[in-house]
Structure 1
Amino acid sequence: MGVTVDFCGEQFVADPARPLTIGRVGDVEIDDNPYLHRNFLQIVEEGGLWWLSNVGTTLTATVADKKGLFQAWLNPGARIPLALERLTVWFTAGPTTYDFDIVVDSPAFTSTGTEELAEDDATGETTVGRVSFTPDQKLLIVALAEPFLRRGQGGVAQIPSSADAAARLGWKVTKFNRKLDNVCQKVADAGTRGLHGGPGKLASNRKARLVEHALSTRLVTEADLALLDGVTDGEAIAHGTEIVNSK
C-alpha cells in the first residue's frame, strides 16, 4: 500500500523506510511562513498501516474524506491511520489557510452511506448532522469560505477579515460578529472542537476553524457561491424567497 501527497498539483510519494515530512521545510515544503512549523506533519508506515502524525507544538490540522462523512481534528502529538482512499488536510498558520490531499493505494476501508447534508425547502434551513443553520448563517459561512470555493485547485487561501466579509454581505460588522458568535456557538455545542478558547470563551482563530469544518463536512460547496449572487444590501435571495432579519 502506497501513499502520495498532492499539494498544489505536485505529488510527493511516501517512502516506507522513512517519514515523509510536511512543513516550512522538509519533503513537502508548504510555504516560507514564519507561523508554520518547520516540521509540522509526518506520514509514516508502521505496523502495516500508514499514519499521519502532528509533530508540531501549537498548530492543529483538520482531516476529512472527500464525501464529508469522516472528520478528525489533529492536535499536536496526535496521529490517525490513513485508512481511506483519499483525504484532505486543512490547517491555518497565521493569516493563511492551506490544504493538501493524501491519496492511499489499496486503503483498509472505503466510505459508504450518504452525506449528512440536507436542506428544508420550506424553511431554507441547512442541516449537517443535528446542526441546523438559517439562511443568514449559511451565507456567513459561504462568505468566509468564498476564497477557497473560487480558487479551483487547492493549496493556499486567506480567510477574509470580519469587515471584508460583512461588506461582501452588505451587513454591518456588528451584525456579522453577532451572527458569527451564534454560528460558532451552535457548531461548538454540537461537539466540534477548536471553536472555544476556554469555558465560555470563543477561540481567537474561530473563523479559520469554522471554515475548515465547513469545507471538510461539505457544509459549503462551489454550488453555494450562487447564494452570494443574490445578496443585496444585507438581504439574501435564497431559493426564490427573500430572507430578512433571520438569526
Structure 2
Amino acid sequence: MPGTERPLRVEFAGEWHTVSPHARFTIGREGDLSVDDNPYLHRHFLELSFHEGLWWLANVGSRLAPTVSSAGGAVQSWLSPGARMPIVFAQSVIVFTAGPTTYEIALHTDEAHYSVASQVQTSMTGEATVMPVSFTPLQRVLIVALAEPMLRREGVSVSELPSSSAAAARLGWTMSKFNRKLDNVCDKLDRMGVQGLRGGTGRLATNRRARLVEYAVSSQLVTRADLPLLDDESLHDSADD
C-alpha cells in the first residue's frame, strides 16, 4: 500500500543517484542531476518528490514535455509543463528532446503499486499485437531512420536526433517523399490519440520528429530488431512514390 517511504533510484548515462523521500530532486541543465549544458534545456526541468504516500514526477519547465514510459512501453504519459504524475511501476523511463539532443533517464523503485498483467507481458514479447495500427514498409523504415541513434544506444543515455534531410539521405529519398511519409505516419498516430504530432502555427518540425521518436521507441513501436530495414535496398528507391 502507499505510504512506505523508500528511496527512488535515478539512472542516467551510467550514473546512479539515490533520492531520499525527505528531499526534492531536480533534473535539468542545473540541479541535483545536471543532464547537460544544453541551452535548449530548462535550468530546472523535472522534479521528483515523495508525498501523499507516493513518488511524484513534476514538469516544472515551461516549454518541454517528456514522454514517460512504464511496463515495457505498455503505459505511456506525455507530461506537459505544469503537470505531475505518480510513479507507480517498478521501473519507468523518461525520454525528452531539447534542441537536437534526446535524453533518457530511468527511474527504479523497490515498491511498485501496479504490475503488468500477464496479457501485456505476453504482448510485449512479440507473441501478440500491442499497437492497434499498422504501417506500410516505407512508413516503418522512416520511423527507424529517425530513431536509429536511439535504437543503437546502450542503456539510458544521450542521442542525437537526425534532421529530416539527414534521414531522407539515409534512405535515398527526396525531401518531398520524406515529408509526405512523415505526414502520413504522424496523422495515423494522431488519430490514435498520440499527442504532440499534429502540426500548426508555431509547431516546429523538430518538435514533431522528436515526439515521434520518443513515442516510437518508448512504446516499442520500433526496436533494434527493425534496424536491418535500413539496409533493405527495396526501401531505398528515391522515386517520389
Q: Same fold, TM exceeding 0.5?
A: yes
Bigger share in strand? 1
User: What runs of 5+ residues in structure 1 fail to find an aligned partner?
Assistant: 121-126, 237-243
Give the 3-state SS of the residue equivalent to 1:215 in structure 2: helix
Say yes or no: does 1:104 pair with 2:109: yes
Q: Distance in 1 between matches of 2:10 and 2:87?
A: 12
RMSD in angstroms over aligned alpha carbons? 2.4
The alpha carbon displacement at 1:119 in A equals 10
Identity %: 50
Instruction: Report the equivalent of 1:6.
Output: 11
Q: Alpha-carbon deviation of 1:60?
A: 0.4
Distance 2:233 2:19 in 1: 45
What's the secondary structure of 1:57's corresponding residue? coil
Q: Counting helix residues as a fraction of each chain, which structure ranks higher?
A: 2
Cα distance between partner residues in 2 of 1:164 and 1:56: 30
Distance change >3 Å, CA 202–CA 183, structure 1 → 2: farther
TM-score normalized by the length of structure 1: 0.87
Relative to 1, partners in 2 of residues 1:129 and 1:153: Cα closer, same or farther, differing over 3 Å? closer
Do residues 82 (structure 1) and 87 (structure 2) align? yes
* Equivalent residue in structure 2 for 1:131, among 126, 133, 141: 133
Q: How does 1:90-239 map to 2 (within 5 A)?
A: 90-112=95-117, 113-114=119-120, 115=123, 129-198=131-200, 204=205, 205-231=207-233, 234-235=236-237
TM-score (norm: length of structure 2):
0.89
Specify every segment of 5 or more residues in structure 2 that has no aligned partner in the other structure, as ranges. Answer: 1-5
Q: What is the Cα deviation at residue 84 of structure 1?
A: 0.2
Specify the alignment match of 1:124 in structure 2: none
1:95–1:153 distance in 2 versus 1, CA, 3 Å:
same
In structure 2, relative to structure 1, the CA distance for the partners of 1:22 and 1:87 (3 Å cut) is same
Deviation, 1:231, is 3.1
Q: Which residue of 1 aligns with 2:3?
A: none
Q: Residue type of the partner of 1:24?
A: R
- Contact preservation (8 Å) 2:176, 2:240: no
The residue type paired with residue 188 of structure 1 is D
Distance 2:159 2:93 in 1: 15
Question: Contact (CA 8 Å) 1:66, 1:88: kept in 2 or not?
Answer: no
Indicate the residue corresponding to 1:16 in structure 2: 21
Return closer, same or farther for 1:230/1:197 CA change in 2, 3 Å cut-off.
Answer: closer
1:55 to 54, 57, 60: 60
Count how many residue pairs are aligned between Structure 1 and Structure 2: 232
Amino acid aligned to 1:44: S
Alpha-carbon distance change, 70 to 46 in structure 1, aligned in 2, over 3 angstroms: same
- For residues 202-227 of structure 1, the C-alpha deviation after alignment (integer angstroms, 9 at most, x for no partner) is 65310000000101110011111111
CA 1:232 to 1:170, structure 2 compared with 1: closer, same or farther past 3 Å? farther
